[in-house]
Every structure is written in C-alpha cells, then in structure tokens.
Amino acid sequence: MRNLRKIEAIESMTRHHENIRAELVDWATAQPAIRVIREAVFIREQAVPQELEWDGLDPLCAHVLAWNDIGEAIGTSRMQPNGTIGRMAVIKDWRGHGVGRMLLHTLLDLAARQGLARVTLSAQIHALGFYQRAGFHVVGEPFMDAGIPHRKMVRELRPPGVGPERQ
C-alpha cells in the first residue's frame, strides 16, 4: 500500500506518440484492463500458467497502461519498488508501433524520479534487442521462466556514487 501512495503522490506522467498514450495508473482502478492484456499475451499466447502470472506482487508495483486513440487498453507493464521491471505486454495488433517503448520509458522516468540507481528486468530472449536499444545490457546466463528462455538485464540510471542510493 505504501508504494501506491507514492504513485498517487507523483504528478501525472503521460507520454503521447501519434495516437497512443501511456501513463502511470493505480492497480486497484486499472486492474481489469491490465488483466485483459496480460491474460491475452501471457496466459493465452505464451501459455504462462495463471498461478505464475498472478504472483501477488501487483498491489506493490507501479503500473503503466497504454491506450489507442479510441480508448482501448493496448499495453501494460509494471515496476516493483526495487526497480525490477516486468510484465511488459502489448496486444498483438499493436506490436511494432512504439507501444512497448512508451511503456518502458514511462517506467524508466519514474525510476529516475524515485532516485533509483538502476533498473533490472528478465527479458525473453526474442526481446533482447528491444531492451538493448533502450540502454539495457545482459548479465548472467540464460534461464527458463514459465517455460520461456530469458536473460537478466540491467540499466544504470546514473553513475555509482552520484546522489543517494535507493537500491
């Protein structure tokens, strides 16, 4: 709950590109739209078991949603309080239109505003290039998560020793 109050205290952060917008949302309010997207992408498309997808961490996370020009929710992602980004999902018809980039940059902006020195994520192997273009680098060996090969990735938000550490 403490994290939700932090999100509510942050001024509204919205990104616009063409006819797409992405913004931070409150989990309690946006949960229905987030669930529809993640169920479509992870549970139905990628066959991730429901018990792995719904890990109980969502109420603690910052969430971002993207909408198209007619108000349909088309993408979502989340960030845990420690700066771990995850659950990046974009509806199939909207992939390749910059939705994922908007979601990711909204969370990176939030992490920087919160004073985090770095963010991490577990990227599906096919998405490594996407995250590398956003400044992430691979660390560690490949691993399986929900039957899908992943790599851990890190992005430094500011040089070590500059300002207060939050991690």
CA 12, CA 24: separation in Å to the nearest integer? 7
Distance separating alpha carbons of residues 162 and 140, to the nearest angstrom:
25
Q: pLDDT: is 158 or 13 the higher one? A: 158
Of 137, 138, 66, the residue nearest 106 (C-alpha): 66
Report whether pLDDT(1) > 50.
Answer: no
Could you state, in order of their start, the residue ranges of all structural domains in the chain? 2-117
Q: What is the pLDDT of residues 40-53, one digit of tens each?
A: 999 999 999 999 99
CA distance 139 to 153: 6
pLDDT at 62 over 90: yes
The answer to whether 110 touches 85, Cβ cutoff 8 Å, is no
More reliable by pLDDT, 136 or 167: 136
C-alpha torsion angle, residues 145, 36, 31, 97 (rounded to 10): 80
Q: What is the CATH number of domain 2-117?
A: 3.40.630.30
Contact criterion met (CB below 8 Å) for 94 and 68: yes
Per-residue model confidence as pLDDT tens digits over 64-111: 999 999 999 999 999 999 999 999 999 999 999 999 999 999 999 999
pTM of the model: 0.83
